Chains A and B, each alone.
Chain A
Amino acid sequence: MSVHLEQVAFRYPGSGFDALRDLSLEFAPGLVHLVTGRLGSGCSTLLLVIAGLAPHVTGGSRSGSVVTLGLDPGGSGRRDLAGRIGLLLPTPWTQLSGMAYTVAEEVAFGPANLGWNRDRIREAVDGALRLVELERFADRDPRTLSGGELQRVMFAAIVAMDPAVCLLDEPAMELDLETTEMIYQHLPALARERTVIVATTDLDRAVRVADRVVLLDGGSVIGEGNPADVLGTARAVEAGATTSAARIAYLAGIAPTFPLTVSAAVERFSR
Protein backbone atom coordinates (compact mmCIF):
# COMPACT_ATOMS: atom_id res chain seq x y z
CA MET A 1 0.00 0.00 0.00
CA SER A 2 1.35 3.41 -0.84
CA VAL A 3 -0.88 5.17 1.67
CA HIS A 4 -1.94 3.65 4.95
CA LEU A 5 -3.91 5.35 7.73
CA GLU A 6 -4.56 3.74 11.08
CA GLN A 7 -7.03 5.24 13.57
CA VAL A 8 -6.33 8.75 12.38
CA ALA A 9 -8.04 11.76 13.92
CA PHE A 10 -7.35 15.38 13.08
CA ARG A 11 -8.55 18.61 14.64
CA TYR A 12 -7.95 22.11 13.25
CA PRO A 13 -6.56 24.72 15.65
CA GLY A 14 -9.28 26.42 17.67
CA SER A 15 -11.91 23.97 16.50
CA GLY A 16 -14.20 22.26 18.98
CA PHE A 17 -14.51 19.02 17.00
CA ASP A 18 -12.47 16.53 15.00
CA ALA A 19 -12.47 17.06 11.23
CA LEU A 20 -11.37 13.44 10.82
CA ARG A 21 -12.34 10.67 13.25
CA ASP A 22 -10.89 7.23 13.68
CA LEU A 23 -9.98 6.76 10.03
CA SER A 24 -8.37 3.50 9.03
CA LEU A 25 -7.87 3.38 5.27
CA GLU A 26 -5.54 2.04 2.64
CA PHE A 27 -4.92 3.38 -0.85
CA ALA A 28 -3.21 1.09 -3.33
CA PRO A 29 -1.33 2.14 -6.46
CA GLY A 30 -2.85 1.40 -9.86
CA LEU A 31 -6.32 2.59 -8.91
CA VAL A 32 -8.30 5.82 -9.12
CA HIS A 33 -9.69 6.33 -5.63
CA LEU A 34 -12.53 8.81 -5.05
CA VAL A 35 -13.05 10.43 -1.68
CA THR A 36 -16.43 12.09 -1.36
CA GLY A 37 -19.07 13.23 1.07
CA ARG A 38 -21.25 16.20 1.87
CA LEU A 39 -19.64 19.61 2.47
CA GLY A 40 -17.46 19.61 5.53
CA SER A 41 -17.22 15.83 5.69
CA GLY A 42 -13.41 15.91 5.76
CA CYS A 43 -12.42 14.99 2.16
CA SER A 44 -10.01 17.89 1.66
CA THR A 45 -8.62 17.46 5.15
CA LEU A 46 -7.87 13.82 4.42
CA LEU A 47 -5.77 14.82 1.40
CA LEU A 48 -3.91 17.39 3.51
CA VAL A 49 -3.14 14.77 6.13
CA ILE A 50 -1.86 12.28 3.55
CA ALA A 51 0.30 15.04 2.04
CA GLY A 52 1.61 15.98 5.48
CA LEU A 53 0.38 19.58 5.22
CA ALA A 54 -1.98 18.92 8.10
CA PRO A 55 -0.92 19.65 10.74
CA HIS A 56 2.52 20.84 9.52
CA VAL A 57 1.12 23.87 7.65
CA THR A 58 -2.47 24.09 8.87
CA GLY A 59 -1.68 23.70 12.54
CA GLY A 60 -3.95 21.60 14.71
CA SER A 61 -3.36 18.13 16.05
CA ARG A 62 -3.28 14.68 14.51
CA SER A 63 -3.38 11.33 16.24
CA GLY A 64 -3.02 7.84 14.82
CA SER A 65 -0.61 6.65 12.18
CA VAL A 66 -0.20 7.95 8.62
CA VAL A 67 2.27 6.21 6.34
CA THR A 68 2.70 7.55 2.82
CA LEU A 69 5.20 5.66 0.64
CA GLY A 70 6.60 4.07 3.77
CA LEU A 71 7.21 7.35 5.58
CA ASP A 72 5.32 9.61 7.97
CA PRO A 73 4.47 12.72 5.89
CA GLY A 74 3.70 14.72 9.00
CA GLY A 75 6.99 14.00 10.70
CA SER A 76 10.40 12.61 9.91
CA GLY A 77 9.50 11.59 6.36
CA ARG A 78 8.56 15.05 5.15
CA ARG A 79 11.87 15.89 3.51
CA ASP A 80 12.22 12.51 1.76
CA LEU A 81 8.69 12.77 0.41
CA ALA A 82 9.32 16.07 -1.41
CA GLY A 83 8.33 15.62 -5.03
CA ARG A 84 6.89 12.17 -4.41
CA ILE A 85 3.47 13.49 -3.37
CA GLY A 86 1.64 15.90 -5.68
CA LEU A 87 -1.29 17.87 -4.27
CA LEU A 88 -3.59 19.87 -6.55
CA LEU A 89 -5.61 22.41 -4.60
CA PRO A 90 -9.14 23.39 -5.67
CA THR A 91 -8.03 27.03 -5.73
CA PRO A 92 -5.24 27.04 -8.35
CA TRP A 93 -4.29 30.71 -7.94
CA THR A 94 -3.24 29.98 -4.36
CA GLN A 95 -0.85 27.37 -5.69
CA LEU A 96 1.06 29.61 -8.12
CA SER A 97 4.73 29.86 -7.25
CA GLY A 98 4.69 33.62 -7.74
CA MET A 99 8.18 33.17 -9.21
CA ALA A 100 7.28 32.43 -12.82
CA TYR A 101 6.70 34.82 -15.71
CA THR A 102 5.47 32.14 -18.07
CA VAL A 103 3.34 29.04 -17.88
CA ALA A 104 6.36 26.90 -18.84
CA GLU A 105 8.38 28.38 -15.96
CA GLU A 106 5.49 27.72 -13.59
CA VAL A 107 5.29 24.06 -14.60
CA ALA A 108 9.09 23.81 -14.33
CA PHE A 109 9.13 25.25 -10.82
CA GLY A 110 8.60 21.92 -9.01
CA PRO A 111 11.08 19.87 -11.08
CA ALA A 112 13.69 22.67 -10.82
CA ASN A 113 13.37 22.65 -7.04
CA LEU A 114 13.88 18.92 -7.05
CA GLY A 115 17.29 19.55 -8.62
CA TRP A 116 16.61 17.94 -11.98
CA ASN A 117 18.90 18.77 -14.92
CA ARG A 118 17.71 21.06 -17.71
CA ASP A 119 16.97 18.35 -20.26
CA ARG A 120 14.88 16.38 -17.82
CA ILE A 121 12.97 19.50 -16.76
CA ARG A 122 12.31 20.50 -20.36
CA GLU A 123 11.07 17.03 -21.21
CA ALA A 124 8.80 16.93 -18.14
CA VAL A 125 7.35 20.40 -18.84
CA ASP A 126 6.73 19.70 -22.52
CA GLY A 127 5.07 16.39 -21.72
CA ALA A 128 2.86 17.84 -18.99
CA LEU A 129 1.72 20.79 -21.12
CA ARG A 130 1.00 18.43 -23.99
CA LEU A 131 -1.08 16.25 -21.66
CA VAL A 132 -3.41 19.13 -20.75
CA GLU A 133 -3.30 20.62 -24.26
CA LEU A 134 -1.71 23.87 -23.13
CA GLU A 135 1.40 23.91 -25.34
CA ARG A 136 0.27 27.15 -26.97
CA PHE A 137 0.05 28.78 -23.53
CA ALA A 138 3.67 27.98 -22.66
CA ASP A 139 4.85 31.59 -23.01
CA ARG A 140 1.77 33.24 -21.44
CA ASP A 141 1.98 34.97 -18.07
CA PRO A 142 0.08 32.63 -15.71
CA ARG A 143 -1.48 35.63 -13.99
CA THR A 144 -3.38 36.48 -17.19
CA LEU A 145 -5.12 33.11 -17.45
CA SER A 146 -8.73 32.33 -16.59
CA GLY A 147 -9.47 30.13 -13.57
CA GLY A 148 -9.98 27.09 -15.78
CA GLU A 149 -6.78 27.61 -17.71
CA LEU A 150 -4.89 28.08 -14.48
CA GLN A 151 -6.27 24.87 -13.02
CA ARG A 152 -4.94 23.00 -16.07
CA VAL A 153 -1.54 24.65 -15.60
CA MET A 154 -1.41 23.52 -11.98
CA PHE A 155 -2.49 20.01 -12.97
CA ALA A 156 0.41 20.01 -15.45
CA ALA A 157 2.73 21.29 -12.72
CA ILE A 158 1.80 18.32 -10.52
CA VAL A 159 2.17 15.77 -13.32
CA ALA A 160 5.55 17.24 -14.35
CA MET A 161 7.03 16.24 -10.98
CA ASP A 162 6.06 12.62 -11.69
CA PRO A 163 4.84 12.01 -8.12
CA ALA A 164 4.10 8.49 -6.90
CA VAL A 165 0.99 9.76 -5.09
CA CYS A 166 -1.33 12.27 -6.79
CA LEU A 167 -3.81 13.99 -4.51
CA LEU A 168 -6.35 15.93 -6.56
CA ASP A 169 -8.80 18.12 -4.67
CA GLU A 170 -11.72 19.00 -6.97
CA PRO A 171 -9.46 18.85 -10.04
CA ALA A 172 -12.21 20.05 -12.37
CA MET A 173 -13.76 22.74 -10.20
CA GLU A 174 -12.73 25.59 -12.50
CA LEU A 175 -13.10 23.72 -15.76
CA ASP A 176 -15.63 23.78 -18.56
CA LEU A 177 -17.21 20.53 -19.70
CA GLU A 178 -14.74 19.66 -22.45
CA THR A 179 -11.70 20.25 -20.26
CA THR A 180 -13.28 18.41 -17.33
CA GLU A 181 -13.76 15.36 -19.50
CA MET A 182 -10.18 15.62 -20.75
CA ILE A 183 -8.76 15.73 -17.22
CA TYR A 184 -10.90 12.84 -16.01
CA GLN A 185 -9.98 10.76 -19.06
CA HIS A 186 -6.31 11.10 -18.10
CA LEU A 187 -6.80 9.76 -14.58
CA PRO A 188 -6.80 5.99 -15.31
CA ALA A 189 -3.54 6.34 -17.28
CA LEU A 190 -2.10 8.53 -14.53
CA ALA A 191 -3.02 5.86 -11.98
CA ARG A 192 -1.32 3.06 -13.90
CA GLU A 193 1.94 3.56 -12.04
CA ARG A 194 0.77 5.80 -9.25
CA THR A 195 -1.76 6.16 -6.48
CA VAL A 196 -4.39 8.69 -7.53
CA ILE A 197 -6.82 9.99 -4.91
CA VAL A 198 -9.49 12.45 -6.05
CA ALA A 199 -11.62 14.39 -3.58
CA THR A 200 -14.75 15.61 -5.30
CA THR A 201 -18.48 16.19 -5.11
CA ASP A 202 -18.74 16.13 -8.92
CA LEU A 203 -19.70 12.49 -9.00
CA ASP A 204 -21.57 12.40 -12.31
CA ARG A 205 -18.26 12.67 -14.10
CA ALA A 206 -15.81 11.27 -11.56
CA VAL A 207 -17.64 8.00 -11.06
CA ARG A 208 -16.94 6.97 -14.66
CA VAL A 209 -13.23 6.65 -13.97
CA ALA A 210 -13.30 5.58 -10.33
CA ASP A 211 -12.12 2.16 -9.25
CA ARG A 212 -12.89 2.64 -5.58
CA VAL A 213 -14.85 5.11 -3.46
CA VAL A 214 -14.44 6.23 0.14
CA LEU A 215 -17.55 7.95 1.47
CA LEU A 216 -17.07 10.24 4.46
CA ASP A 217 -19.62 11.84 6.74
CA GLY A 218 -18.71 13.97 9.71
CA GLY A 219 -15.06 12.99 9.32
CA SER A 220 -15.79 9.25 9.53
CA VAL A 221 -15.90 6.57 6.87
CA ILE A 222 -19.49 5.49 6.20
CA GLY A 223 -18.81 3.55 3.01
CA GLU A 224 -15.86 2.06 1.19
CA GLY A 225 -15.59 -0.14 -1.85
CA ASN A 226 -16.52 -0.21 -5.51
CA PRO A 227 -18.56 2.78 -6.74
CA ALA A 228 -21.84 0.92 -7.28
CA ASP A 229 -21.85 -0.61 -3.80
CA VAL A 230 -20.97 2.65 -2.04
CA LEU A 231 -22.76 5.33 -4.07
CA GLY A 232 -25.78 3.36 -5.20
CA THR A 233 -27.20 3.30 -1.69
CA ALA A 234 -29.80 5.29 0.22
CA ARG A 235 -27.07 6.18 2.68
CA ALA A 236 -25.02 7.87 -0.06
CA VAL A 237 -28.04 9.79 -1.32
CA GLU A 238 -28.88 10.90 2.20
CA ALA A 239 -25.23 11.90 2.75
CA GLY A 240 -25.55 14.20 -0.27
CA ALA A 241 -22.90 12.28 -2.18
CA THR A 242 -24.03 10.33 -5.18
CA THR A 243 -24.76 10.79 -8.87
CA SER A 244 -27.78 12.47 -10.44
CA ALA A 245 -28.98 9.13 -11.82
CA ALA A 246 -28.85 7.56 -8.36
CA ARG A 247 -30.67 10.52 -6.80
CA ILE A 248 -33.43 10.25 -9.40
CA ALA A 249 -33.72 6.51 -8.79
CA TYR A 250 -33.91 7.12 -5.02
CA LEU A 251 -36.57 9.80 -5.43
CA ALA A 252 -38.47 7.56 -7.84
CA GLY A 253 -38.72 5.03 -5.04
CA ILE A 254 -37.02 2.04 -6.62
CA ALA A 255 -35.06 -0.46 -4.60
CA PRO A 256 -31.28 -0.11 -4.21
CA THR A 257 -28.72 -0.66 -5.57
CA PHE A 258 -29.38 2.52 -7.54
CA PRO A 259 -27.93 2.99 -11.04
CA LEU A 260 -25.06 5.48 -11.08
CA THR A 261 -25.03 6.44 -14.74
CA VAL A 262 -27.67 7.50 -17.20
CA SER A 263 -27.12 4.36 -19.29
CA ALA A 264 -27.54 2.13 -16.24
CA ALA A 265 -30.69 4.04 -15.26
CA VAL A 266 -32.15 3.72 -18.76
CA GLU A 267 -31.55 -0.01 -18.60
CA ARG A 268 -33.08 -0.28 -15.14
CA PHE A 269 -36.17 1.77 -15.96
CA SER A 270 -36.68 0.04 -19.32
CA ARG A 271 -37.11 -3.39 -17.76
Chain B
Amino acid sequence: MTALRFEDVWFGYGAVPVLEGIGFAVEPGEAVALLGRNGAGKTTLTKLVMALLHPHRGYVWVGDRITQGRTPEQIAARAAYVFQHADQQLFARTVLREVAFAPRQLGLPPHEIEALATDALRRVGLDRVGHEHPYDLPPAQRKLVTLAAALAQQPRVLVLDEPSQGMDAPSIQRVADVIRSLASEGVAVLAVTHDLSLVTEALDRTIVLDGGRIAYDGLSATLVTDATRARQLGLGVPPGVQLSLRLDLPGRPLRLADVAAALRAPEKGGRSAG
Protein backbone atom coordinates (compact mmCIF):
# COMPACT_ATOMS: atom_id res chain seq x y z
CA MET B 1 0.00 0.00 0.00
CA THR B 2 1.18 3.50 -0.80
CA ALA B 3 2.65 5.08 2.33
CA LEU B 4 1.75 8.71 1.57
CA ARG B 5 -0.42 10.29 -1.09
CA PHE B 6 -1.34 13.89 -1.94
CA GLU B 7 -4.32 14.26 -4.28
CA ASP B 8 -4.71 17.71 -5.86
CA VAL B 9 -3.97 19.48 -2.57
CA TRP B 10 -4.53 23.24 -2.26
CA PHE B 11 -3.65 25.29 0.80
CA GLY B 12 -3.04 28.92 1.74
CA TYR B 13 -2.69 31.18 4.76
CA GLY B 14 -5.57 33.64 4.55
CA ALA B 15 -5.50 35.13 1.09
CA VAL B 16 -1.90 34.03 0.46
CA PRO B 17 -1.85 30.81 -1.59
CA VAL B 18 0.96 28.43 -0.69
CA LEU B 19 0.25 25.09 -2.35
CA GLU B 20 -1.73 24.83 -5.57
CA GLY B 21 -2.78 21.42 -6.81
CA ILE B 22 -0.04 19.27 -5.28
CA GLY B 23 -0.16 15.58 -6.20
CA PHE B 24 2.39 12.84 -5.53
CA ALA B 25 2.72 9.45 -3.85
CA VAL B 26 5.50 7.93 -1.76
CA GLU B 27 5.88 4.17 -1.54
CA PRO B 28 7.19 2.21 1.45
CA GLY B 29 11.00 2.21 1.44
CA GLU B 30 11.29 5.39 -0.60
CA ALA B 31 13.46 8.22 0.75
CA VAL B 32 12.28 11.50 -0.73
CA ALA B 33 13.79 14.98 -0.46
CA LEU B 34 11.43 17.94 -0.47
CA LEU B 35 13.28 20.98 -1.75
CA GLY B 36 12.43 24.55 -2.68
CA ARG B 37 13.32 28.15 -1.95
CA ASN B 38 12.53 29.81 1.39
CA GLY B 39 8.78 30.30 1.61
CA ALA B 40 8.03 27.65 -1.06
CA GLY B 41 5.66 25.81 1.27
CA LYS B 42 7.81 22.86 2.27
CA THR B 43 7.08 22.99 5.98
CA THR B 44 3.41 23.66 5.24
CA LEU B 45 3.31 20.47 3.20
CA THR B 46 4.78 18.43 6.04
CA LYS B 47 2.20 19.85 8.44
CA LEU B 48 -0.51 18.69 6.06
CA VAL B 49 0.93 15.16 6.29
CA MET B 50 0.68 15.24 10.07
CA ALA B 51 -2.83 16.73 10.12
CA LEU B 52 -1.46 19.80 11.87
CA LEU B 53 -3.04 21.59 8.91
CA HIS B 54 -5.79 20.42 6.56
CA PRO B 55 -6.10 21.05 2.81
CA HIS B 56 -8.53 23.69 1.61
CA ARG B 57 -9.08 21.39 -1.35
CA GLY B 58 -7.93 17.87 -2.16
CA TYR B 59 -6.88 14.99 0.08
CA VAL B 60 -3.87 13.73 1.98
CA TRP B 61 -3.59 10.01 2.71
CA VAL B 62 -1.16 8.54 5.24
CA GLY B 63 -1.29 4.82 4.53
CA ASP B 64 -4.95 3.90 4.46
CA ARG B 65 -5.95 6.88 6.59
CA ILE B 66 -7.13 10.19 5.17
CA THR B 67 -6.18 13.23 7.23
CA GLN B 68 -9.45 15.05 6.60
CA GLY B 69 -11.37 15.41 9.85
CA ARG B 70 -8.55 13.78 11.83
CA THR B 71 -6.27 15.15 14.52
CA PRO B 72 -2.46 14.82 14.66
CA GLU B 73 -2.88 12.20 17.40
CA GLN B 74 -4.89 10.04 15.03
CA ILE B 75 -2.18 10.23 12.38
CA ALA B 76 0.69 9.69 14.84
CA ALA B 77 0.23 5.91 14.90
CA ARG B 78 1.31 5.83 11.26
CA ALA B 79 3.60 8.81 10.84
CA ALA B 80 6.26 10.46 12.98
CA TYR B 81 7.36 14.06 12.59
CA VAL B 82 10.68 15.60 13.49
CA PHE B 83 10.25 19.35 13.78
CA GLN B 84 12.73 21.74 12.20
CA HIS B 85 13.66 23.07 15.60
CA ALA B 86 14.11 20.58 18.38
CA ASP B 87 13.11 23.13 21.00
CA GLN B 88 9.57 23.04 19.59
CA GLN B 89 9.41 19.38 20.46
CA LEU B 90 11.43 18.53 23.57
CA PHE B 91 9.77 18.54 26.97
CA ALA B 92 11.02 15.61 29.08
CA ARG B 93 13.60 15.85 31.85
CA THR B 94 15.96 13.28 30.39
CA VAL B 95 16.87 12.23 26.90
CA LEU B 96 15.75 8.67 27.64
CA ARG B 97 12.33 9.76 28.89
CA GLU B 98 11.91 11.97 25.84
CA VAL B 99 12.63 9.10 23.48
CA ALA B 100 10.45 6.69 25.49
CA PHE B 101 7.44 9.01 25.39
CA ALA B 102 5.82 7.71 22.20
CA PRO B 103 6.15 3.99 22.99
CA ARG B 104 4.79 4.73 26.45
CA GLN B 105 1.80 6.53 24.95
CA LEU B 106 1.22 3.49 22.75
CA GLY B 107 0.81 1.42 25.93
CA LEU B 108 3.73 -0.92 25.32
CA PRO B 109 5.15 -2.97 28.22
CA PRO B 110 8.10 -1.38 30.11
CA HIS B 111 10.76 -3.75 28.77
CA GLU B 112 9.70 -3.01 25.19
CA ILE B 113 9.64 0.73 25.84
CA GLU B 114 13.16 0.59 27.20
CA ALA B 115 14.38 -1.58 24.33
CA LEU B 116 12.88 0.74 21.72
CA ALA B 117 14.24 3.89 23.36
CA THR B 118 17.71 2.41 23.88
CA ASP B 119 17.88 1.14 20.32
CA ALA B 120 16.74 4.49 18.91
CA LEU B 121 19.39 6.35 20.89
CA ARG B 122 22.04 3.92 19.71
CA ARG B 123 21.04 4.46 16.09
CA VAL B 124 21.57 8.20 16.33
CA GLY B 125 24.77 7.84 18.37
CA LEU B 126 23.39 9.23 21.61
CA ASP B 127 23.42 6.10 23.75
CA ARG B 128 25.78 7.76 26.25
CA VAL B 129 23.59 10.75 27.04
CA GLY B 130 20.32 9.01 27.95
CA HIS B 131 20.31 10.46 31.45
CA GLU B 132 21.22 14.01 30.46
CA HIS B 133 18.65 16.79 30.32
CA PRO B 134 17.91 17.44 26.61
CA TYR B 135 18.56 21.16 27.04
CA ASP B 136 22.03 20.44 28.40
CA LEU B 137 22.94 19.18 24.92
CA PRO B 138 23.99 21.45 22.03
CA PRO B 139 21.10 22.35 19.66
CA ALA B 140 22.14 19.97 16.91
CA GLN B 141 22.34 17.05 19.36
CA ARG B 142 18.88 17.98 20.62
CA LYS B 143 17.78 17.50 17.06
CA LEU B 144 19.21 13.98 17.09
CA VAL B 145 17.19 13.36 20.26
CA THR B 146 14.00 14.27 18.39
CA LEU B 147 15.04 11.96 15.57
CA ALA B 148 15.54 9.15 18.09
CA ALA B 149 12.11 9.90 19.57
CA ALA B 150 10.59 9.52 16.12
CA LEU B 151 12.44 6.23 15.55
CA ALA B 152 11.13 4.83 18.85
CA GLN B 153 7.65 5.46 17.50
CA GLN B 154 8.32 2.83 14.79
CA PRO B 155 6.56 4.87 12.12
CA ARG B 156 5.65 3.69 8.63
CA VAL B 157 6.10 7.27 7.42
CA LEU B 158 8.82 9.52 8.81
CA VAL B 159 8.64 13.24 8.07
CA LEU B 160 11.81 15.21 8.76
CA ASP B 161 12.00 19.00 8.60
CA GLU B 162 15.60 20.08 7.93
CA PRO B 163 17.16 17.05 9.68
CA SER B 164 20.77 18.11 9.08
CA GLN B 165 20.38 21.82 9.79
CA GLY B 166 23.23 23.23 11.88
CA MET B 167 25.00 19.88 12.15
CA ASP B 168 28.65 19.06 11.64
CA ALA B 169 29.79 16.61 8.98
CA PRO B 170 29.88 13.48 11.18
CA SER B 171 26.36 14.17 12.48
CA ILE B 172 25.03 14.72 8.96
CA GLN B 173 26.58 11.41 7.97
CA ARG B 174 24.83 9.82 10.95
CA VAL B 175 21.48 11.24 9.83
CA ALA B 176 22.11 10.00 6.29
CA ASP B 177 22.92 6.51 7.60
CA VAL B 178 19.73 6.46 9.68
CA ILE B 179 17.59 7.52 6.71
CA ARG B 180 19.13 4.88 4.45
CA SER B 181 18.67 2.19 7.03
CA LEU B 182 15.03 3.14 7.67
CA ALA B 183 14.29 3.10 3.96
CA SER B 184 15.83 -0.37 3.69
CA GLU B 185 13.43 -1.47 6.43
CA GLY B 186 10.46 -0.24 4.40
CA VAL B 187 9.84 3.10 6.08
CA ALA B 188 8.79 5.93 3.75
CA VAL B 189 10.90 9.02 4.48
CA LEU B 190 10.02 12.56 3.42
CA ALA B 191 12.73 15.06 4.33
CA VAL B 192 12.54 18.83 3.87
CA THR B 193 16.05 20.11 3.36
CA HIS B 194 18.31 22.70 1.76
CA ASP B 195 21.27 20.36 2.16
CA LEU B 196 22.03 18.91 -1.27
CA SER B 197 24.83 16.83 0.21
CA LEU B 198 22.31 15.05 2.45
CA VAL B 199 20.10 14.52 -0.62
CA THR B 200 22.98 12.92 -2.48
CA GLU B 201 23.95 10.75 0.47
CA ALA B 202 20.55 9.42 1.49
CA LEU B 203 17.50 10.58 -0.49
CA ASP B 204 17.13 8.90 -3.87
CA ARG B 205 14.12 10.85 -5.06
CA THR B 206 13.55 14.60 -5.02
CA ILE B 207 10.44 16.75 -5.21
CA VAL B 208 11.00 20.48 -5.73
CA LEU B 209 8.31 23.02 -4.89
CA ASP B 210 8.31 26.29 -6.79
CA GLY B 211 5.55 28.87 -6.96
CA GLY B 212 3.14 26.60 -5.08
CA ARG B 213 3.51 23.73 -7.54
CA ILE B 214 5.75 20.73 -8.07
CA ALA B 215 8.53 21.84 -10.40
CA TYR B 216 10.49 18.59 -10.31
CA ASP B 217 9.72 15.06 -9.21
CA GLY B 218 12.35 12.50 -10.11
CA LEU B 219 15.68 10.96 -9.28
CA SER B 220 17.92 13.05 -7.06
CA ALA B 221 20.95 11.88 -9.05
CA THR B 222 19.47 13.34 -12.25
CA LEU B 223 18.83 16.71 -10.63
CA VAL B 224 22.15 17.14 -8.82
CA THR B 225 24.12 16.32 -11.96
CA ASP B 226 22.24 18.89 -14.05
CA ALA B 227 23.71 22.20 -12.88
CA THR B 228 21.56 24.31 -15.18
CA ARG B 229 18.28 22.75 -14.07
CA ALA B 230 19.36 22.80 -10.43
CA ARG B 231 20.27 26.49 -10.66
CA GLN B 232 16.90 27.31 -12.26
CA LEU B 233 15.22 25.76 -9.24
CA GLY B 234 17.40 27.70 -6.81
CA LEU B 235 19.55 24.66 -6.02
CA GLY B 236 23.23 23.91 -6.34
CA VAL B 237 25.41 20.94 -7.12
CA PRO B 238 27.04 19.42 -4.00
CA PRO B 239 30.86 19.66 -3.89
CA GLY B 240 31.38 15.89 -4.11
CA VAL B 241 29.21 15.70 -7.21
CA GLN B 242 30.97 18.69 -8.76
CA LEU B 243 34.29 16.98 -8.20
CA SER B 244 33.07 13.73 -9.72
CA LEU B 245 31.74 15.51 -12.80
CA ARG B 246 34.70 17.82 -13.32
CA LEU B 247 37.19 14.97 -13.01
CA ASP B 248 34.94 12.70 -15.09
CA LEU B 249 35.37 9.89 -12.58
CA PRO B 250 34.50 6.42 -13.83
CA GLY B 251 30.95 5.40 -12.94
CA ARG B 252 30.22 9.04 -12.03
CA PRO B 253 30.05 8.44 -8.24
CA LEU B 254 27.97 10.98 -6.30
CA ARG B 255 28.26 10.08 -2.61
CA LEU B 256 31.25 11.54 -0.86
CA ALA B 257 32.79 8.20 0.17
CA ASP B 258 32.32 6.83 -3.35
CA VAL B 259 34.00 9.87 -4.88
CA ALA B 260 36.90 9.42 -2.46
CA ALA B 261 37.09 5.71 -3.30
CA ALA B 262 37.25 6.47 -7.03
CA LEU B 263 40.05 8.94 -6.38
CA ARG B 264 41.87 6.51 -4.10
CA ALA B 265 42.04 3.61 -6.54
CA PRO B 266 44.07 4.46 -9.65
CA GLU B 267 44.18 0.81 -10.61
CA LYS B 268 40.40 0.93 -10.97
CA GLY B 269 40.45 3.97 -13.19
CA GLY B 270 40.55 6.44 -10.30
CA ARG B 271 43.19 9.10 -9.78
CA SER B 272 45.90 9.81 -7.34
CA ALA B 273 47.35 13.12 -6.37
CA GLY B 274 50.70 14.25 -5.14
Write the residues of chain A forming the contact surface with B, with a CB cutoff of 8 angstroms: 12, 14-15, 37-40, 44, 90-91, 144-149, 170, 173-180, 201, 204, 240-245, 247-255, 261-262, 265-266, 268-271
**A148 to chain B: which residues have CB within 8 Å?**
37-39
**A174 to chain B: which residues have CB within 8 Å?**
38, 165
Cα(A91)–Cα(B87), bound, Å: 10
Instruction: Find out whether the CB atom of A91 lies under 8 angstroms from the CB atom of B85.
Output: yes
List 3 A-B pairs, minimum CB-CB distance, nearest first: A148-B38, A251-B260, A244-B239
Cα(A240)–Cα(B125), bound, Å: 15
**A270 to chain B: which residues have CB within 8 Å?**
247, 271
**A251 to chain B: which residues have CB within 8 Å?**
256-257, 260-261, 264
Cα(A232)–Cα(B87), bound, Å: 34
Cβ of B168 < 8 Å from any Cβ of A? yes
The B251-269 residues at the A interface (CB cut-off 8 A) are: 256-257, 259-261, 263-264
Q: Mark B223-248, 1 if CB is under 8 A from A, else 0.
A: 00000000000111011101100110
Instruction: Find out whether the CB atom of B197 lies under 8 angstroms from the CB atom of A175.
Output: no
**B247 to chain A: which residues have CB within 8 Å?**
266, 269-270
- Given that A148-B38, A253-B264 are contacting pairs, would A39 and B169 also be in contact in the complex, using a CB cutoff of 8 Å? no
**B166 to chain A: which residues have CB within 8 Å?**
90, 170, 173, 201
Q: Mark B24-39, 1 if CB is under 8 A from A, else 0.
A: 0000000000001111
Instruction: Find out whether the CB atom of A176 lies under 8 angstroms from the CB atom of B38.
Output: yes
Instruction: Find out whether the CB atom of B39 lies under 8 angstroms from the CB atom of A149.
Output: yes
Cα(A98)–Cα(B117), bound, Å: 38
Cβ of B139 < 8 Å from any Cβ of A? yes
Instruction: Find out whether the CB atom of B168 lies under 8 angstroms from the CB atom of A147.
Output: no
Query: Of the candidates A39, A44, A176, A241, which one forms a contact with B141 in the assembled complex, judged by CB atoms under 8 Å apart?
Result: A39
Cα(A243)–Cα(B239), bound, Å: 9
**B196 to chain A: which residues have CB within 8 Å?**
177
Cα(A45)–Cα(B87), bound, Å: 18
**A244 to chain B: which residues have CB within 8 Å?**
169, 197, 238-240, 256
Instruction: Find out whether the CB atom of A252 lies under 8 angstroms from the CB atom of B167.
Output: no
Cβ of B171 < 8 Å from any Cβ of A? yes
- A265's closest neighbor in chain B, by CB? B243
**B238 to chain A: which residues have CB within 8 Å?**
244
